[in-house]
Structure 1
């Protein structure tokens, strides 16, 4: 066995804690938010590059303000908007500026629809005149100010509208929108969930054209679930949800000319059964970029559409034996050349193409991944990005010339570094944290990376935690099935290597995911520390199929989800079980969503390795999950039935010997409770004894009120009683 240390717990941190009061964490403290970090909220860099705006709430009045601060000094420059000065507007929840910053869109009464979508009442505030007006008396979706600030487009009842501020005229661009049939301007459920996109329209730079998508989902099968509420009869929620192998919505692209009052469909080519995951206008007001992806998601065309002639032209094609990830890393420069990221050399890197799609150069290279693209500084011809060049469990901020020269690491501290740049890229705010340091926010010079000033830290949280028995993560790698897998471990206080401890494993394991990261604690981490305080060793291993170690490692599980990942977790449990200080007869595992799919498989397929498992909101049969996600990794059930059946927990219930807790929310629109109900039936028919819980009207996150506290109390008791 070979454990290679990547990062040791910081000596000063552990020494400081030796003088602490060693207070134990409680579930009530964790889930009532006692250890929440302070963060910067809704920051917008002003066009002048010298100031930034943030959303703040005054206490005790409760007024909402947009305050403008100086980057250099941190001093408040002015209050741009205050709800106290606006009649009939007590507060607002969010804001966005027009390109010239003369108008601000304010959101109120925001109501969540699904994971990323919402609707609300919106107001437009005119900065020069300090006037304000309501966009609509009804709740609208995805409003977007035009670049010139004189118009706004939005979706209402599945139709796309434009409101012209100068004339006061409302233009209805579509009239065929209908729930569960036709959607214009926003996406259907599966695009929202799996392509991370809700708004499906975009203004051109001249503010006279809008491109939008139309979804015809009449033939998509419906899914229904009861929402029980408190009324005498439950309410049935019915929505279109294409499960693997089933019919998707037919998607069409349109370009509307606002001045000509016309809307024309765009024929992209002889595509069949395809997706349009992104549309975006280029720097040319007449050229629209469109990404078209085949259903297998391994062939992507970047198309430029001439809005005058309605002619499409493929300027870039990407192919992959497995799949192509969709990102927002497409930036058009003034000459209409563009920045693009791709895994085509085996690692995610930045590329620069000319306006015709010819490669100018590969900007970044190496056996490491670019994890975020921040933008292009046209004045200094520099690109700013984030990567894992300094270990896959860390993140750093870099600058590089667009020709690929003069790369410079701007961040200095080891851990998770993220950045938010000023509009002119002269300075940036660095967000830093690691496993022993809560988030720190500092202002830096973009040329040198040097700190200009501190903005905010979480010293009060650090001081508070000195009272507690904080259990640090020990990062290492573990050699499993020919790979050095990233791992962390949390040990009990006064750990004795000659004593036997039960092991509780946590994982997610989904394609491209990462759970072993050198960053600050989540709520789960405090729970893991609490378990360690109760005498458990907690460990997490990122197996094959997880991300940020190259495309080959990430895509090793293609067409066979739940095979190699399960093998890795079983092998890791066995290998850890050989350690002198781990009781191999007391190993448990848990996970949520994909992690619940994994923990179920581990318990059912390796009953002599795992004593118990907890599965929260698990996929139990990939045939029940949606087209875009499932087919990306497994193709369709018709093409790859063994990929679906050989690793779905529902088919392996006869292997259950240990203790099993199964949990689901009844209103989970993502991983339907159908997964759990059919697994329950299979377990019952196999005469297997297990525990289960259904949380009424809770979605995939299973939260609200005391729900999380109840869930983690139940899981904690289950662990204590069975491990």
Structure 2
């Protein structure tokens, strides 16, 4: 076991942590919002590059405002609008400017559909006339300004509409939308969840054409969930959900011409039998649309250029991989219509520059490290801004580099997690910094040098508050497991005594490309771990094979065997940690949520000689139950890889249970269906295995709302105390 240069990361103003005066964190402290960090909400850089706007909410009056600040002085220049002065809107929860910033789209009465999709009432505020226009009397989806700011396109009842803001006229330009059958311009469930977007339509630069994806869900099997609510009879939520190996939506790409009122379907000169269209984007050329197509296995990604004037198409770039190719959101078209693209083709995620015909100009970033975020291209300085793990895979830093790959500048200056939000003209950036001992610090920085100009927010109030609590430092290290140096953190009791022995709780997620070991500010779970450490537990987390930011080979080593190598790493890590003199190897537990719940279930079954207890929250129990896009990306289909699915799914190993097992699920989970837990419960019963379980009625994958999280973490804490903490 090898430690980084001792990273015993101590909190600011906490030199007296081990004193008897320190408070113990309680579950109520964690879940009542008392440790919430201050953040900058809905930050938008104004087009002039010298100002930014933020959304402010006055809890006392219940009104919202958009406030404009000067980058250089950080002083508030004005309130662009305040809902208290508008008769049409009591408050709004989000806003979007038109390109010329003459109009603002205001969202109110927003309700969630699934993870990213919402319905809401939307209004347009004219900054010159101060007038407010309702886009529709009904709740709509994804309203989007045309580039010239004269129109808004949106989705309603599976069809697409355009409202002309000058005339007030609304045009419905698709008419075949039917619930659970045809969707126009809004993604289906699986695209929303796994390709992470909802708006499947895009305006061209001239504001006279809209490209959109049409989803034909007719052959996709339906999934139904009972919604119990408070009425005498429950209702049912029925939606299309393609499980691994089942039929997906048939997708097609179309272009609507507002001038001719005609819609044309894009036909490519390549035969795709089963495919996805995960991204569309117009280039700077008015009639040229780009579209990313990928095969069902997702190991070949094609970039097409489509000429909307004659609907001709050209394949300009293909990325392939033996495992899978990640979709990129970093496609950027420059003024000459050359483009920037990110790819893992050299073994790490890096930035590339291509001519508009797809010919490679240069690889801009290189090295045995990953680009983790692409911020954009400044046409004036011809520099690209990005975030990477050049300073270690648990850290994030901000850099700039010339388009030719030269004169790289390190713009962030503190070790930990740095993220940037640039002004529109790339003169400034607001850097958000944190590490495991420092809550988010917002500073204004010069984008040429990275020099800090001014501090904006420092969360000192939270630091001061935490200084009165019993907080133990997170210790970062690496552990050599199965031939790999794996990143790890550990939290010990503040009064740790190496001559004593302690129970160990391991946390992991382990999903492909994920990261749980990062040098960043504490989340709610970390505060729970601090509470547990105060009771006498040691908590540890190890990122095993399959996790991210250590290269494509490490991430993709679990291909076709999800849960096999990840589990081997967790079991071996537990064994090695159990060999430490201060850890009681007879009292080792593991817990996780979602993919982590899948892992912790497997761990208590297959690692029954190592783990005494496990908690699984919202677990996948068989990959046959999960959706097509995610599962097949890593496993291909069940028809092709039956053994990979079944050998690594916990539902098939319940007979191995020896220790204590707590299974938790929300009955309204549209993502990992409660079916997963219900079928494993039945398998455990038939195997005559005793265990505990808890269902949260109508709760989705997040299991929250009201006292729900407090109840859940109380239950998990009590279970831990009963199964691991009996000697504390």
Normalising to structure 2: TM-score of the pair?
0.98
User: Contact 1:84 / 1:90 at 8 angstroms: preserved in 2?
Assistant: yes
Distance in 2 between residues matched to 1:478 and 1:3, nearest whole Å: 8
**Alpha-carbon offset, residue 15 of structure 1:** 2.6
Q: Once superposed, what is the RMSD of the aligned Cα atoms? A: 1.0
User: Contact 1:514 / 1:546 at 8 angstroms: preserved in 2?
Assistant: yes
What residue is the counterpart of 2:401 in the other structure?
400
User: Contact 2:25 / 2:469 at 8 angstroms: preserved in 1?
Assistant: yes
Distance in 1 between residues matched to 2:5 and 2:512, nearest whole Å: 25
Distance in 1 between residues matched to 2:34 and 2:697, nearest whole Å: 26
Distance in 2 between residues matched to 1:116 and 1:230, nearest whole Å: 26
**Alpha-carbon offset, residue 164 of structure 1:** 1.1
What residue is the counterpart of 2:145 in the other structure?
145
**Alpha-carbon offset, residue 13 of structure 1:** 5.7
Distance in 2 between residues matched to 1:521 and 1:327, nearest whole Å: 29
SS of residue in 1 equivalent to 2:528: helix
What residue is the counterpart of 2:634 in the other structure?
633
**Alpha-carbon offset, residue 14 of structure 1:** 5.3
Distance in 2 between residues matched to 1:628 and 1:7, nearest whole Å: 39
Which blocks of at least 5 consecutive residues in structure 2 are unaligned? none
Normalising to structure 1: TM-score of the pair?
0.99
1:64 aligned onto 2:64? yes
Matches for 1:1-12 after TM superposition, within 5 Å: 1-5=1-5, 7-10=7-10
Shift in alpha-carbon separation, 1:462–1:384, aligned structure 2, 3 A: same
Q: Deviations over 1:377-420 (max 9, x none)?
A: 00000000000000000000000000000001100000000000
User: Contact 2:11 / 2:437 at 8 angstroms: preserved in 1?
Assistant: no
**Alpha-carbon offset, residue 676 of structure 1:** 0.1
Distance in 1 between residues matched to 2:178 and 2:20, nearest whole Å: 61
Ranges of 4+ aligned residues in structure 1 off by more than 6 Å: none
What residue is the counterpart of 1:29 in the other structure?
29
What residue is the counterpart of 1:124 in the other structure?
124
Distance in 2 between residues matched to 1:20 and 1:84, nearest whole Å: 49
Distance in 2 between residues matched to 1:243 and 1:154, nearest whole Å: 29
User: Contact 1:476 / 1:488 at 8 angstroms: preserved in 2?
Assistant: yes
What residue is the counterpart of 2:172 in the other structure?
172
User: Contact 2:17 / 2:494 at 8 angstroms: preserved in 1?
Assistant: no
User: Contact 2:588 / 2:613 at 8 angstroms: preserved in 1?
Assistant: yes
User: Contact 1:3 / 1:479 at 8 angstroms: preserved in 2?
Assistant: no
Distance in 2 between residues matched to 1:560 and 1:28, nearest whole Å: 40
Distance in 2 between residues matched to 1:685 and 1:574, nearest whole Å: 30
Q: Deviations over 1:614-653 (max 9, x none)?
A: 0000000000000000000000000000110001000000
User: Contact 2:476 / 2:490 at 8 angstroms: preserved in 1?
Assistant: yes
What residue is the counterpart of 1:290 in the other structure?
291
Distance in 2 between residues matched to 1:695 and 1:167, nearest whole Å: 49
What residue is the counterpart of 1:272 in the other structure?
273
Shift in alpha-carbon separation, 1:72–1:2, aligned structure 2, 3 A: closer
Distance in 2 between residues matched to 1:52 and 1:16, nearest whole Å: 40
Shift in alpha-carbon separation, 1:618–1:263, aligned structure 2, 3 A: same
What residue is the counterpart of 2:534 in the other structure?
533
Matches for 1:66-145 after TM superposition, within 5 Å: 66-145=66-145
1:523 aligned onto 2:524? yes
Distance in 2 between residues matched to 1:652 and 1:607, nearest whole Å: 11
Q: How many residues align?
A: 723
1:669 aligned onto 2:684? no
SS of residue in 1 equivalent to 2:315: strand
**Alpha-carbon offset, residue 17 of structure 1:** 3.2
**Alpha-carbon offset, residue 75 of structure 1:** 1.1
User: Contact 2:3 / 2:476 at 8 angstroms: preserved in 1?
Assistant: no
What residue is the counterpart of 1:411 in the other structure?
412
What residue is the counterpart of 1:369 in the other structure?
370
Distance in 1 between residues matched to 2:312 and 2:392, nearest whole Å: 45
Which blocks of at least 5 consecutive residues in structure 1 are unaligned? none
What residue is the counterpart of 1:432 in the other structure?
433
User: Contact 2:18 / 2:494 at 8 angstroms: preserved in 1?
Assistant: no
1:249 aligned onto 2:261? no
What residue is the counterpart of 1:338 in the other structure?
339
**Alpha-carbon offset, residue 4 of structure 1:** 4.9
What residue is the counterpart of 2:312 in the other structure?
311
SS of residue in 2 equivalent to 1:17: coil
Matches for 1:476-495 after TM superposition, within 5 Å: 476-495=477-496
User: Contact 1:183 / 1:215 at 8 angstroms: preserved in 2?
Assistant: yes
